[in-house]
């Protein structure tokens, strides 16, 4: 059985979905005089540093992770490759627009069904974001917005690139964008393919029992994601 603790880090995954990214366009100014967030590019690759600042609540896994996020809106898919600190076995989170999410490492898999699909590029820019102001984050001059009372999103004032986002819930998840490549895609289809053990067809009950514990952290994440996606879909 795969160690459950590995899976419980999934809150990071949600966050990754949120990452946003901005294209090279600069922030536009809305009618109210406040800047508007930059939409995500349709495809990008970002490397995120994640700190689950309240991780005893968010997850039983380690609080620090590095994630490669491949956002691919044209193909309606999203991949997070999550590496926990000092862990040799990365965790994959592959999300499809039909709501199915596969979480797997080299040994085990968990499948989740969400009522929503992949976040659209305009999930923040499309409306509902409240401008918070200008802040320096990591030494970078940023515009900051809040949305739906659960996320603060920072983008570089000069370029519109995403810099950071914080979830305002008990998990205290903070994600920092370490690199951002608009247009970059993960073309290797093998990387998107969930392994055979994600599709048990008979007596694989033992495996799923090992994943129940792992699901605890995932649930928190899925709720966040759903909320975010739901908010995005409203506009």
Ligand X SMILES: *[C@@H]1O[C@H](CO)[C@@H](O)[C@H](O)[C@H]1NC(C)=O
Residue ranges that bind ligand X, judged by CB under 6 A: 51, 53-54, 57, 64, 96, 98, 100, 170, 172
- In the complex, the smallest distance separating the C-beta of residue 92 from ligand X, rounded to whole angstroms, is 13
Q: Give 35 or 101: the residue with its C-beta nearer to ligand X.
A: 101
Distance from C-alpha of 47 to C-alpha of 190, rounded to nearest angstrom: 20
Which of 84, 50, 39 is CA-nearest to residue 171? 50
Which is nearer to ligand X, 22 or 93 (by Cβ)? Answer: 93
Report d(CA 232, CA 1) in Å as an integer.
Answer: 37
CB 162 within 8 A of CB 46: yes
* CB of 160 or CB of 167, closer to ligand X: 167
Minimum separation from the CB atom of position 64 to ligand X (A):
6
Q: How far is the CB of 12 from ligand X (least distance, A)?
A: 13
Taking the complex as a whole, the smallest distance from the CB of residue 117 to ligand X amounts, in Å, to 9
8 A C-beta contact, residue 84 and residue 66: no
134 backbone dihedrals φ, ψ, rounded to 5° = -105, 130
193 or 209, CB closer to ligand X?
193
Q: How far apart are CA 93 and CA 104, in angstroms?
A: 7
Reported as type and span, the H/E element at residue 216 is helix 205-233
């Amino acid at each position: 059985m795969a160690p459950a603790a590995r899976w419980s880090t999934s809150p990071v995954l949600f966050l990754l979905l949120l990452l946003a990214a901005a294209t090279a366009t600069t922030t536009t100014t809305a009618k109210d005089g406040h800047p508007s967030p930059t939409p995500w590019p349709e495809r990008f690759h970002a490397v995120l540093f994640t700190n689950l600042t309240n991780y005893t609540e968010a997850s039983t896994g380690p609080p620090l992770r590095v994630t490669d996020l491949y956002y691919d809106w044209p193909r309606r898919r999203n991949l997070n490759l999550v590496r926990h600190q000092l862990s040799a076995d990365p965790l994959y989170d592959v999300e499809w627009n039909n709501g199915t999410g596969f979480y797997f490492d080299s040994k085990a898999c968990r499948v989740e069904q969400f009522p929503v699909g992949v976040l659209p590029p305009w999930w923040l820019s499309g409306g509902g974001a409240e401008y918070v102001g200008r802040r320096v984050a990591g030494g970078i001059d940023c515009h900051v917005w809040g949305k739906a009372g659960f996320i603060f999103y920072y983008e570089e004032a000069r370029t519109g690139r995403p810099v950071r986002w914080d979830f305002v819930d008990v998990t205290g998840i903070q994600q920092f964008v370490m690199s951002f490549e608009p247009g970059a895609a993960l073309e290797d289809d093998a990387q998107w393919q969930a392994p055979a053990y994600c599709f048990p067809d008979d007596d694989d009950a033992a495996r799923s029992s090992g994943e129940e514990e792992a699901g605890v952290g995932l649930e928190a994440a899925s709720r966040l994601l759903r909320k975010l996606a739901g908010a995005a879909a409203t506009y």
